[in-house]
Amino acid sequence: MKNITLRSILAVAALSAAALSAPAFAQEAAPQVHSLSRAEVLADLALHRRAGLDAHGSSEILPVGNADHERRLAEYQRLRSGPEYLAEVRRVGGAPSTVAGEAGTQRVQ
């Protein structure tokens, strides 16, 4: 009887140690942090300015409900999601293959 109890205790201890050293399957991978290239940041800034969003200066109060701001924001979003963005990245010296999130491109680091 003592032999069976001792074996049971040792088996439980061995399984516990193995479980603690094994990776947990429920853990999720750490989220990938996307870093923009210098060309991507400069292109985004140029499109922001082209849309006229810098005309109002910096303010901590958001222009909610301002029709002019909403129009400018829509223009910025159109430029940023269209071919103008890739053209601007190229203009500032970036390679289109480094633009993250673009179809058919890969991030080069």
| Positive or negative: CA dihedral 75, 81, 82, 84 | positive
Question: Is 94:37 a contact under the CB 8 Å cutoff?
Answer: yes
Q: Which residue has the tokens 């890739």?
A: 86
Distances from the Cα of 99 to the Cαs of 42, 78, 103, 104, in angstroms?
Answer: 12, 17, 9, 10
Domain-wise residue ranges, the chain: 35-109
Q: pLDDT by residue (tens digit) across 74-88?
A: 999 999 999 999 999
Q: What is the pLDDT of residues 37-68, one digit of tens each?
A: 899 999 999 999 999 988 766 555 666 778 88
The more confident residue out of 29 and 52 is 52
pLDDT value for 104: 43
Q: Which residue has the higher pLDDT, 1 or 52?
A: 52
The residue among 1 and 97 whose pLDDT is bigger is 97
CB atoms near residue 25 (< 10 Å) = 5
pTM of the model: 0.56
Name the band, by pLDDT with cuts 50, 70 and 90, for residue 107.
very low
Cβ-proximal residues to 50 (8 Å cutoff; 6+ apart), any chain: 76, 79
**Phi–psi pair at 102, nearest 5 degrees:** -90, 140
